[in-house]
Structure 1
């Protein structure tokens, strides 16, 4: 149950009860919010209702707030309603309400916080690294961010497809094939010397060259490039995608669809040609010239007529070329056709998780969505900033072109999947992230993933302790209000309030495409739980397990179980384990 949505409805009902219906005509209640107050000392919930409704109703904010507070105070679940500042209303809820909510958490179990199925069909495309080598740590953040966004959207109730767009039709694939062919010649015994500039130098291509030798012997060596290029390209792409899938699986990422860009370039132009003609019929494609770029002109710039998308009509900064002067399609043309393909597959929302270097691409993608789908589909672009690796205080440098880079597999194998996934979320995705190998493996409060997982392990240890002193664990899903009535300590109720934020957190993080909110929430919940546990060290009456107080212990075990449920659910959404004990 989302108590914030529940009380938002209660506030709206209270407004309608104190304001005559003729005054309510045309008044928009959608701006009313109920959320946790910034300072917990002010209460449990805060609403802006009087602030946003005062002007349209022609009333003073505090006068409206006072009348609304009086109405809300009559709600049996509200212990107090107070007007603050210029007209905010702070609500304190009755202890019985929190006990009832705790029972709901225990009853719903792992489903707590899950939203109803909405029918929203959402495509989340992420990673989409060029198939030219293994994934490096720069891809890792986008992989985790995209994966957790998809998990949050699914948990919130959407129908989500996780997709990888294989850029297998560009010049970089020809470069890959030439690089692999060089390794093939090396496998045949030829001395290739230093890898020529412009080719991929990594040793990861050596096994592909050996595989070509095993399949073709030396038959390819004497062929001209136009004959050996197609089979080498196909096998190189297949080998790289196999490597990429293995890297993703190591990270715990398994996507539903791998979409090949080459399928858009079928004979006669395929879906790209179809898309251009469809947009031409709607007036979005024309023949024209682009103005010169601002500043100094590039040497290769030409004032020439091109096939252009009229993207300025749908929010872009300039119209975009679809067909080059030599008749070849631009990369952008393939992107347009790809979006149209998603739209035709029935997706209503498309999420793109891209590297920060694609920041200039956001407006044109948004324009593509408007040109292709009008208002029938939306697009959301999430940008991921760079990850900087540190070891022993020194930055770890990487360069994919030189072959001297840190792979995703290197990082996961050194510190483990869980620390990698959690820490990739421990900053907002559009902020740079420093990944310290030492910090993510230390066992301390300063290591967020350890601190959260330790909280779940501590909950399991508390259950074991109860059994060791001869107490039985209750059927948590069958507990009644009287079983939990003893929970009255402020620290205990604060934990319940924190648990109550979870459904709202899930919905907000999913809608905003901000999975870092979940990581932060789990850390805060773990901190509150550890804090209450530590209070029991100083105040024995607050210990979770007390053999002399079996009924109180029963109630507190229910609280611990609820914390464990939410921790396990949150960690599962992040893609990390919820351990029963820590090594």
Structure 2
């Protein structure tokens, strides 16, 4: 509804400017400031002041006088505040908000008939997912959800590095060391059991092996890499045994977030099908290819560091194979989005430049970079086994959330309404939600130090604060259904928005109406944190309504309309949380 109203305002404003003889290329449509209750504003008068030879406030008044609200669906009137035009919604608009806001798919935009592949996480399969990298699957999953709501046909991919030196070293270690030489695993899970071999390899090669043992190990590691490069099936099977086992465990952790994938795409795929070799040959033929320091490199324009794409021993590199991978994406999808850590910014620039040299349209490729998540305890490193694993963080989140929930329960609620299973469910929803929300609510490029007190604060910008809105709305509806004199089913039909005439009711209506536009803008910018910001603002509006406007004890002429408003609010916040990948509890 908000999108339809905005389109109507844009069309009518453009026609108005045209009648007045003004250009219509920039309408300046924007959100009004918080102290203005209008739903849209225009700053066009700033742009037109020079052409009109008059100050912006006078130009704005001229446009407002010429704007015929009767020609603009869902707009009741237009007025000015200084140089701004403010557009006020009609009652018909609010009635449509009440009606459409109750739809299960409210906020979802029309099908764009555009396919997009979102690649995220793609952590090397060398051990458990650790907290520092947790931002990738959380942001990536939210971006994919957001694009899905925005009308794209989305696939979620995990690109598996199964051909690099780390994996060859891992495979050698798995085949070399006996389990008796390893410490006990930190958890009974495949990746925790397997990572012991990788850590043992690093310790052995750096601190324990003599020169001859290192030379023998390096020869076998190189043999594995060469075998993969040559398409040797035996080498591939050796590596796959290690990689697939670790991936199974990592995926189980990621599903706890939850972050799921449509496909795990292995980089060896592009070695075995010949596409990496094809990329290498095409790159060698370009004017940017140079052979220097025993390696083939690209001297990329506007990038200081050359891109090495073939080593002196003839083996390809990760980025070389990723070039083939991205050309495969372009062949199979209309657009591609990749979520990468800030340490991959140079690699992403090199990749994009090389893709352009190969003749690809890189406007179809967008990258979301993120900074690290740290804990107050300090840094993390999977390689050395000193990191904080994501499993540990999630376990702690659930345990702390359970404590918080139990502290808020009195004996009557515990005995009459919530079972132990209910408490476990709520603790899981709140705990996992707290981790996700705290991470996704920040701009990706800003570093995060994860703090429990902030993440689990029921009164601040946090998952529990927002989840409480859904729980409160669900509680009202449950009680309404069981009570007398009011029926939750009436909410679908009793849509008289004129009964919702208090400031808090109107503000909640406006927040519900904004949701589709928030989805559109956030998707265009690939900013899921904008949806998180919206949920906080929505929660503030709902809580004001909750304090000031009783529903079950409302006057008879307001009960139906307020109940309809609660239904629409519950649906809206539930869908907004769904975009963020956070569960919406029915009770808390």
Q: TM-score, normalised by structure 1?
A: 0.81
Q: Please report how far the alpha carbon of residue 413 of structure 1 lies from its aligned counterpart in structure 2 after TM superposition.
A: 2.3
The alignment status of 1:69 with 2:64, answered yes or no, reads yes
Q: Please report how far the alpha carbon of residue 78 of structure 1 lies from its aligned counterpart in structure 2 after TM superposition.
A: 3.6
Deviations 1:385-433 (A, max 9, x none): 111224xxxx254321221222122222222422222222121111111
Q: Please report how far the alpha carbon of residue 233 of structure 1 lies from its aligned counterpart in structure 2 after TM superposition.
A: 2.8
User: Match of 1:118?
Assistant: 112
The alignment status of 1:311 with 2:311, answered yes or no, reads no
Deviations 1:94-144 (A, max 9, x none): 3453233222323xx122111111111211110000011111112221101
User: Match of 1:165?
Assistant: 159
Q: Please report how far the alpha carbon of residue 243 of structure 1 lies from its aligned counterpart in structure 2 after TM superposition.
A: 1.1
1:287-366 superposed matches below 5 A: 287-289=290-292, 302=293, 306-309=295-298, 311-312=300-301, 316-317=303-304, 319-345=306-332, 347-366=333-352
Shift in alpha-carbon separation, 1:60–1:473, aligned structure 2, 3 A: same
The alignment status of 1:139 with 2:125, answered yes or no, reads no
User: Match of 1:398?
Assistant: 380
Cα distance in 1 for partners of 2:335, 2:241 equals 34
1:84-483 superposed matches below 5 A: 84-85=81-82, 87-106=83-102, 109-183=103-177, 185-187=178-180, 191=181, 204-205=194-195, 225=220, 232-266=238-272, 270-279=274-283, 283=286, 286-289=289-292, 302=293, 306-309=295-298, 311-312=300-301, 316-317=303-304, 319-345=306-332, 347-375=333-361, 377-390=363-376, 395=377, 397-415=379-397, 416-442=431-457, 444-446=458-460, 448-475=462-489, 478-482=492-496
Q: Please report how far the alpha carbon of residue 279 of structure 1 lies from its aligned counterpart in structure 2 after TM superposition.
A: 5.0
Query: 78, 83, 88: which one pairs with 1:81?
Result: 78
Question: Structure 1 regions of 5+ residues with no counterpart?
Answer: 195-200, 210-222, 290-301, 536-541
User: Match of 1:543?
Assistant: 550
Q: Please report how far the alpha carbon of residue 186 of structure 1 lies from its aligned counterpart in structure 2 after TM superposition.
A: 3.0
Shift in alpha-carbon separation, 1:368–1:120, aligned structure 2, 3 A: farther
1:546-561 superposed matches below 5 A: 546=553, 549-561=555-567
CA contact (8 A) 1:276 1:285 kept: no
Deviations 1:224-245 (A, max 9, x none): 9569976543311111111111
CA RMSD in angstroms comes to: 3.2
Cα distance in 1 for partners of 2:384, 2:305 equals 35
Shift in alpha-carbon separation, 1:471–1:342, aligned structure 2, 3 A: same
Q: Please report how far the alpha carbon of residue 517 of structure 1 lies from its aligned counterpart in structure 2 after TM superposition.
A: 1.0
User: Match of 1:531?
Assistant: 544
CA contact (8 A) 1:73 1:79 kept: no
Shift in alpha-carbon separation, 1:423–1:356, aligned structure 2, 3 A: same
Cα distance in 1 for partners of 2:96, 2:182 equals 73
CA contact (8 A) 2:16 2:63 kept: no
User: Match of 1:6?
Assistant: 5
Q: Please report how far the alpha carbon of residue 20 of structure 1 lies from its aligned counterpart in structure 2 after TM superposition.
A: 4.6
Aligned length: 519
CA contact (8 A) 1:369 1:378 kept: no
Moved more, 118-127 or 364-373: 364-373
Cα distance in 1 for partners of 2:113, 2:299 equals 33
Q: Please report how far the alpha carbon of residue 560 of structure 1 lies from its aligned counterpart in structure 2 after TM superposition.
A: 0.9
User: Match of 1:488?
Assistant: 501
Look up the SS of the partner of 2:104 in the other structure.
Answer: helix
User: Match of 1:39?
Assistant: 34
User: Match of 1:570?
Assistant: 576
Cα distance in 2 for partners of 1:17, 1:382 equals 39
Shift in alpha-carbon separation, 1:55–1:257, aligned structure 2, 3 A: farther
Shift in alpha-carbon separation, 1:447–1:179, aligned structure 2, 3 A: farther
CA contact (8 A) 1:177 1:229 kept: no
Deviations 1:469-517 (A, max 9, x none): 41332435642543x3311001100111111111111011111111111
Deviations 1:342-386 (A, max 9, x none): 1122x2221110112112233223323433454475221111111
Moved more, 115-124 or 359-368: 359-368
Question: Structure 2 regions of 5+ residues with no counterpart?
Answer: 185-190, 200-216, 225-233, 398-430
Q: Please report how far the alpha carbon of residue 563 of structure 1 lies from its aligned counterpart in structure 2 after TM superposition.
A: 0.6
Deviations 1:513-561 (A, max 9, x none): 11111111112111211122123xxxxxx312216x2231111111111
Q: Please report how far the alpha carbon of residue 266 of structure 1 lies from its aligned counterpart in structure 2 after TM superposition.
A: 2.4
Shift in alpha-carbon separation, 1:239–1:94, aligned structure 2, 3 A: same
Deviations 1:174-219 (A, max 9, x none): 2212332354x234xxx5799xxxxxx975446999xxxxxxxxxx
User: Match of 1:213?
Assistant: none
Shift in alpha-carbon separation, 1:203–1:438, aligned structure 2, 3 A: farther
CA contact (8 A) 1:348 1:376 kept: no
Cα distance in 2 for partners of 1:180, 1:7 equals 61
